[in-house]
């Protein structure tokens, strides 16, 4: 039995759907949200479960379980990634779908929220098996997805190749190439420039806005980043170029530190060559928990969920917490961070750069006209800065912290859309 399983309070704290409900209820209470609208928004609009038969390479047939949850389509088509993992649960997918609704509303892009998942272990599937699984899953949910209905994207263990297969399967059924059915596609199949950097870039943009409030220049700011993957790696690269001092990078197998700022490009090369950040000559290895708790201006958890809990939050010594990952902070940890005076840029704002450039990809696909990278980045900056200003202004007006403000703003926007549309009976 794991430590979590032995501790029901911690198990509850780490449950993603309970975390989503806690934040929702808090924001709904603060807004005195109409009881009926609250009921509509508290539950997803649609949950689809499919059983996916796949022919394995050895001739056997295996049946996989897949989900697609559409939490809301009040402000536009559902939008959200698809993850492949052995431990995917419907509760997790439901929570992630609702987070997408709030994230798109905070960014003020015309989408609702959705998420999908397939219970499988992609590390033991061949490319052929993965392709057959992806195509059959797409076929099973085909009447529920589409550029005007629900637009999937990559998430954990899915990538642009998986999106290319999904797009092709959908297009074959529709008898026409429909690039706008998914985002996160390869550039040659209707993908957008700037998408790989978008989430990290968005994290940098909102961090720059937060620093202005503190009167700190980027070159005077120290930054610790957990996770050196797509989000954390890109944030590190872009922030280092912007003059920030990235003093520590934390990975699952170690943490590297240099008080004068790490050479991020050299660390990337080292990781590419060795597969790890460990033994990097340009810094000293330190304890991972210590690294997370060291004094710094900005901490960016960009690895996974439930990193900042009621146990770890008391130890943090950052001024600004930019949540690059989804759900890195548990609900009970929120109060601790507030008491410590840490300026939190919540995930539904901080990592919205990814879905924002996904939105740009969908717009470009539908126009059949593609933008250069400068235009993508300029429009991304506009949306992230507006999102930051809207959330902080909402927080100042309602005297709440940024997380509560972001949820309140999102609920307010979605509830308003529902009221305008009225209830179809």
Give the residue numbers marked as catalytic.
115
**CB-based contact 331:99 (threshold 8 Å):** no
**Which residue is listed with tokens 């015309």?**
110
Nearer CB in complex with ligand NAD: 15/351: 351
Token pair, residue 394, equals 């909402």
Q: Which is nearer to ligand NAD, 95 or 325 (CB)?
A: 325
The answer to the question of residue 311 lying near ligand NAD (CB under 6 A) is no
- Tell me the pairing of strands 254-257 and 284-286: antiparallel
Distance of closest approach, residue 354 Cβ to ligand NAD, in angstroms? 3
State yes or no: residue 37 binds ligand NAD (CB under 6 A). no
With tokens 């220049």, the residue in question is: 217
Please identify which residue in 15, 101, 169, 226 interacts with ligand NAD, judged by CB under 6 A.
226
Q: How far is the CB of 113 from ligand NAD (least distance, A)?
A: 13
3-state helix, strand, coil in the chain (%, to 5): 50, 20, 30
Half-sphere exposure of 343 (CA within 13 A, CB side): 19
Q: What is the DSSP letter of 57?
A: T
Which span (20-28, 322-330, 363-371, 399-407) binds ligand NAD, by CB under 6 A?
A: 322-330
**Span 92-151, contacts to ligand NAD by CB under 6 A:** none
Question: Residue 36: what are its φ and ψ, rounded to 5°?
Answer: -65, -45
Minimal distance in Å, beta carbon 29 to ligand NAD? 27
Cα gap 191→29, rounded to integer Å: 40
Strand order in the sheet with 295-301: 284-286, 254-257, 245-251, 222-226, 295-301, 317-322, 343-345
For residue 228, the minimal CB distance to ligand NAD (Å) is 5
CA atoms of 340 and 336, how far apart (whole Å)? 6
Of 227, 261, 346, 387, the residue at the interface with ligand NAD (CB under 6 A) is: 227
For the CB of residue 251, give the shortest distance to ligand NAD in the complex, in Å.
5
Burial class of 301 by CB neighbour count within 10 A (0 to 12, 13 to 18, 19+): buried
Does 51 sit near ligand NAD (CB under 6 A)? Answer: no
DSSP state of 194: T
Alpha carbon distance 325, 306 (integer Å): 10
Candidates 304, 340, 366, 398; binder of ligand NAD (CB under 6 A) is 304
Least distance to ligand NAD, CB of residue 138, Å: 21
Is residue 324 a contact residue for ligand NAD (CB under 6 A)?
Answer: yes
Nearer to ligand NAD (CB atom), residue 325 or residue 336? 325
| Binding residue (CB under 6 A) for ligand NAD from 303, 320, 414, 415 | 303
Letters for 228-267 (x = contact with ligand NAD by CB under 6 A, - = none) are xxxxx-----------------xxx---------------
Query: Nearer Cβ to ligand NAD, position 180 or 227?
Result: 227
Tokens (6 digits) for 334: 């929120």
Contacting ligand NAD within 349-388 (CB under 6 A) = 351, 354
- 326 binding ligand NAD? (CB under 6 A): yes
DSSP 204-221: HHHHHHHHHHHT--GGG-
> Rule CB under 6 A: which residues touch ligand NAD?
199, 226-232, 250-252, 302-305, 324-326, 351, 354
């Amino acid at each position: 039995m794991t430590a979590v399983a032995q501790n029901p309070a911690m198990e509850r704290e780490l449950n993603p759907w309970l975390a989503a409900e806690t934040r929702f209820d808090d924001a709904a209470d603060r807004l005195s949200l109409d009881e009926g609208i609250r009921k509509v928004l508290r539950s997803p609009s649609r949950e689809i479960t499919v059983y996916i038969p796949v022919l394995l390479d050895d001739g056997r047939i295996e049946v996989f379980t897949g989900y697609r949850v559409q939490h809301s389509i009040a402000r536009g088509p559902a939008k959200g990634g698809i993850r492949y993992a052995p431990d995917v649960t419907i509760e997790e997918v439901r929570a992630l779908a609702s987070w997408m609704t709030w994230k798109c509303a905070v960014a003020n892009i015309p989408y609702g929220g959705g998420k999908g998942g397939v219970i499988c272990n992609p590390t033991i599937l061949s490319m052929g098996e993965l392709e057959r699984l992806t195509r059959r899953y797409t076929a099973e949910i085909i009447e529920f997805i589409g550029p005007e209905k629900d637009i999937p994207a990559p998430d954990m263990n899915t990538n642009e190749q998986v999106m290319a297969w999904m797009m092709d399967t959908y297009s074959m059924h529709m008898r026409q190439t429909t690039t706008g059915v998914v985002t996160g596609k390869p550039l040659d199949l209707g993908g957008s420039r700037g998408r790989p950097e978008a989430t990290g870039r968005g994290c940098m943009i909102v961090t720059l806005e937060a620093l202005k409030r503190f009167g700190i220049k980027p070159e005077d700011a120290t930054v610790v980043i957990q996770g050196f993957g797509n989000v954390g790696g890109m944030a590190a690269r872009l922030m280092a170029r912007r003059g920030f001092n990235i003093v520590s990078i934390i990975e699952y197998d170690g943490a590297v530190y240099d008080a004068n700022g790490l050479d991020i490009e050299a660390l990337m090369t080292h990781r590419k060559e060795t597969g790890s950040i460990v033994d990097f000559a340009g810094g000293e290895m330190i304890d991972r928990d210590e690294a997370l708790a060291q004094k710094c201006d900005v901490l960016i958890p960009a690895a996974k969920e439930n990193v900042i809990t009621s146990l770890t939050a008391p130890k943090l010594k950052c001024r600004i917490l930019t949540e690059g990952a989804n759900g890195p902070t548990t609900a009970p940890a929120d109060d601790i961070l507030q008491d410590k005076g840490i300026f939190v840029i919540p995930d539904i704002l901080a990592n919205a750069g990814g879905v924002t450039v996904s939105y740009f990809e969908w717009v470009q696909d539908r126009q059949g006209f593609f933008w250069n990278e400068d235009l993508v980045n300029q429009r991304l900056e506009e949306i992230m800065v507006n999102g930051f200003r809207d959330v902080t202004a909402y927080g100042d007006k309602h005297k709440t912290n940024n997380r509560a403000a972001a949820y309140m703003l999102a609920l307010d926007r979605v509830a308003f859309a529902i009221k305008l549309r009225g209830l179809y009976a």
